[in-house]
Amino acid sequence: EVQLVESGGGLVQPGGSLRLSCSASGFTFSSYAMHWVRQAPGKGLKYVSTISSTGGATYYADSVKGRFTISRDNSKNTLNLQMTSLRLEDTAMYYCVKDHWSGSFRDFDYWGQGTLVTVSS
């Protein structure tokens, strides 16, 4: 059974930093691209970032480019999101998401339950 378990969320002041992690199990983690998607309270889904299966390619939404860094450790089946210079508008539930297809960037077939990031003074 595929499981994605996020951790690391919490309350942080504007300008602060936070590191999210996602522990993956139930599939060959190193074969799939992984993504982060966020959802502000009461709002819709917003794409945040993607990392290829090997970690050699990364992509970011314009809203987080230069502030967030996605990474992965295939030996530990872990996905990370380092967030710096956090803004009020970064407040959201952050979902760790698995790509549907090995070796590609396509649709998202498994989602974690999310970790809540609140940016507030």
Site for other proteins, rule CB under 8 A: 35, 44-47, 50, 59, 61-62, 95, 100, 105-109, 111-114
Bridge partner residues of 69 (DSSP): 82
Cβ 81 to other proteins shortest distance, Å: 16
For other proteins, give the closer residue by CB, 27 or 105. Answer: 105
For other proteins, give the closer residue by CB, 52 or 82. Answer: 52
Q: Which of 51, 78, 46 is nearest to 64 (CA)?
A: 46
One-letter-per-residue 3-state SS of 47-82: EEEEECCCCCCEEECCCCCCCEEEEEECCCCEEEEE
Cβ 121 to other proteins shortest distance, Å: 27
For other proteins, give the closer residue by CB, 35 or 72. Answer: 35
Cβ 13 to other proteins shortest distance, Å: 27
